[in-house]
């Protein structure tokens, strides 16, 4: 059984947001139940950006994602983020597939936010605020729409072009450009910037808001005024990664917030070990750093669908 | 420029021990000079074995090796160790190649021992002891023979078949089967077992011996009686990895040896920051855990040779 080789188009064709949400949720459950193995991701800083090695093992699937952030790439006609994933059989370590993981990263990141919203946002949430209209924005909207009946989407970005491109890419949704403050006044807010200073202020956030803080994924990055965290029920995907590289990292380093103040992990919430939202007036924040179990879980689906479909290239690599 | 796909045969054909030794030595120099980035390898334990994710960045090359140890694989007709490496351009993160890394692992491990011997063994070393006649033994012999005029090779393994297979594979060398004690009486000794208890005793080791302790590569593994370490000048490839998973890990955990007693890293020795052997009577030990810079450095050569040669399969993966 040779190794499947799945390029970007193949992976894109096989991805389905509802399936990804289900797989990511199952991965968090497996992890919470001690059935997964996942060290924190490793960062390698190089001159023009950084690389991250993200290994994880789940029941039935193991793998490593190798992904980067090179912000000068677009000027060279290359994407900022390029991901590749090796999926292995945990029983034998045989490489089942090598696949593009750029689109997987986009889907699973959005899926994690949707799962967090399902457990943490108010059930009657109808408006979605998007702060940062880069590529991830569209995926976040599609994922949130899988779990909520979103009627209105309020988008802010410093770049008017980015906002217009996003609106044009979503003809089936009611999307309007607005200020950051207006976007933050939505029922569910997704922050998707690369900011190193707060882009959402405490005063803008109404009681009962749920925020998916997605942008901060490396030391020094932050999107929320720390007072929001102080007043919120904070849920993380991985406390080790969040403390070092997630939304809470800058306030923790500055002594403005303690990792001990984090309410729960997403796995604890999904498995019911700790309740999600129980009060319509509390502010909830999901600090999403992105974890390798998400990638491996999605890669496993892609692999299984590709095998079932057939016709993809293979190679006796090892 | 699509991604090169290099299978096991392609990589094997392109590997050359003298080139590998040179590349690995240059990688250690770059690392000692602060020009490399390498977090410790991450371990993932699964039911039937473990996986290791090994990322590193060097000038001109970045990558991650994904490798495992599954000891029940041979019964299923698969190798115990299967490695795959993704090589990326550090400037853009574009994946230059995906290649089998099983043979790379074998070559670079042997090369590191040869480099250690070059700086730590007595210049007049002529006999080589091999303890553990598995697949790595042949590579270690070929590598040591690149840097020393080896006249006699003394091999011990619990399996007589393994010893005979090794001898048959090396018609150009004078190799004899012997006891562990006799093998340990050689000028240069390479320990290549998966043992969790000492296989070389202090009393067997003569003054002036150099030992490449290669087998211990995970917590709980050890090959040398701790008294050897106490009496020796110990050099490590990576102090963090050695303390957690190398030859010193068991004695350190047991309080029989301190990581502070390690004399130097291999990079410090190669760059001359600390002298190698200066006294013919001292015992030297190289605690080799295997570091990702070795793999990335070798993968880079393979990639460059494959590009220069041409004719290898490629794919627009990302």
User: Which helix H or strand E contains B27, and what residues bound it?
Assistant: helix B17-32
Nearest Cα to Cα of residue B88 among A68, A233, A237, A101? A68
**Does one domain contain both B299 and B285?**
no
Q: What is the pLDDT of residues B37-53, one digit of tens each?
A: 999 899 999 999 999 99
**Does one domain contain both A263 and A286?**
yes
**Does one domain contain both B188 and B282?**
yes
Rounded Cα distance between A210 and B82, Å, is 45
Domain containing residue B100: 3-104+293-315
**Residues B270-285, mean pLDDT to the nearest whole number:** 97
Q: What is the pLDDT of residues B121-144, one digit of tens each?
A: 999 999 999 999 999 999 999 999
CB distance B151 to B126 below 8 Å: yes
**Does one domain contain both B274 and B203?**
yes
Test mutation, A31, A53, A72, chain B, max B CBs within 10 A = A53
Rounded Cα distance between B224 and B129, Å, is 14
**Does one domain contain both A121 and A162?**
yes
**Does one domain contain both B192 and B246?**
yes
Nearest Cα to Cα of residue A57 among B53, B185, B94, B120? B53
Low-confidence ranges of chain A (pLDDT < 50): none
Q: What is the pLDDT of residues B200-254, one digit of tens each?
A: 999 999 999 999 999 999 999 999 999 999 999 999 999 999 999 999 999 999 9
Q: What angle do helix axes A17-32 and A102-120 make, rounded to 10 degrees?
A: 70
Residue A226 neighbours by CB under 8 Å, 6+ apart = A198, A250, A251, A254, A256, A257
**Does one domain contain both A87 and A143?**
no
Residue B58 lies in a domain: yes
* Closest B-chain CA to A37: B44
Q: In chain A, how long is the greatest CA-to-CA distance?
A: 58
Percentage, residues of chain A above pLDDT 90: 97
Strand B95-100 with B83-88, pairing: antiparallel
The region that residue B153 occupies, defined by phi over 0 for left and psi between -120 and 50 for alpha, beta otherwise, is beta
Residue B109 lies in a domain: no
- Please name the residue ranges forming H helices in B237-289: 239-245, 249-253, 266-270
Sign of CA dihedral A305, A310, A311, A314: positive
Tracing tokens 């490839």 back to the chain, one arrives at: B237
Residue B110 lies in a domain: no
**Residues B153-181, mean pLDDT to the nearest whole number:** 97
Contact A93 B102 (CB under 8 A): no
Contact A44 B51 (CB under 8 A): no
A67: distance to nearest CA of chain B, Å?
A: 8
Among residues A41, A65, A118, A221, the one annotated as catalytic is: A65
- The total number of structural domains that make up chain A: 2
Q: Is the pTM of this model over 0.80?
A: yes
**Does one domain contain both A130 and A209?**
yes
Residue B173 lies in a domain: yes
Test mutation, B6, B60, B93, chain A, max A CBs within 10 A = B93
Query: CA B74, A292, A24: angle at the middle one, nearest 5?
Result: 105
Q: What is the per-residue pLDDT for B1?
A: 77
CATH number at residue B142: 3.40.50.720
Rounded Cα distance between B254 and B240, Å, is 17
DSSP-based helix, strand, coil % in chain A, nearest 5: 40, 25, 35
Rounded Cα distance between B294 and B273, Å, is 20
B62: distance to nearest CA of chain A, Å?
A: 8
**Does one domain contain both A140 and A254?**
yes
**Does one domain contain both A266 and A117?**
yes
Contact A318 B82 (CB under 8 A): yes
CATH number at residue B311: 3.30.1780.10
Q: What is the per-residue pLDDT for A1?
A: 78
Percentage, residues of chain B above pLDDT 90: 97
Query: CA B220, B221, B224: angle at the middle one, nearest 5?
Result: 125
What residues in A contact B5, CB-CB < 8 Å?
A: 5, 315, 317
**Does one domain contain both A239 and A264?**
yes
Total length of chain A: 318
**Does one domain contain both A276 and A147?**
yes
Q: Which two tokens stand for residue A156?
A: 């802010």
């Amino acid at each position: 059984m040779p190794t499947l080789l799945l390029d970007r188009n193949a992976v894109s064709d096989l991805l389905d947001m509802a399936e990804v949400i289900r797989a990511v949720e199952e991965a968090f459950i497996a992890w919470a139940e001690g059935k997964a193995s996942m060290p924190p991701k490793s960062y390698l800083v190089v001159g023009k950006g950084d690389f991250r090695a993200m290994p994880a093992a789940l029941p039935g699937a193991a793998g490593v994602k190798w992904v980067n952030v090179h912000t000068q790439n677009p000027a060279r006609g290359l994407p900022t983020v390029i991901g590749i994933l090796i999926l292995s059989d945990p029983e034998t370590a045989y490489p089942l597939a090598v696949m593009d993981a750029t689109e997987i990263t986009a889907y699973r990141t959005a899926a994690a936010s949707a799962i967090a919203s399902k457990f943490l946002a108010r059930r009657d949430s109808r408006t979605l605020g998007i702060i940062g209209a880069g590529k991830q924005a569209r995926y976040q909207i599609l994922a949130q729409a899988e779990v909520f009946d979103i009627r209105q989407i309020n988008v802010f970005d410093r770049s008017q072009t980015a906002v217009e491109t996003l609106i044009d890419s979503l003809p089936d949704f009611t999307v309007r450009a607005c200020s950051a403050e207006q976007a933050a006044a939505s029922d569910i807010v997704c922050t998707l910037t690369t900011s190193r200073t707060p882009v959402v202020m405490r005063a803008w956030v109404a009681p009962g808001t749920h925020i998916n803080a997605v942008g901060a994924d490396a030391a020094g990055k932050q999107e929320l005024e720390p007072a929001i965290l102080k007043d919120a029920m904070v849920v993380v995907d991985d406390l080790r990664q969040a403390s070092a590289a997630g939304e809470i990292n800058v306030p923790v380093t500055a002594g403005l917030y303690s990792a001990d103040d984090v309410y729960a992990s997403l796995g604890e919430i999904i498995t019911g070990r700790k309740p999600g939202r129980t009060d319509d007036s509390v502010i909830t924040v999901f600090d999403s750093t992105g974890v390798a179990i998400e990638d491996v879980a999605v890669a496993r689906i892609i692999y299984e669908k590709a095998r079932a479909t057939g016709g993809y290239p293979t190679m006796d690599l090892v």
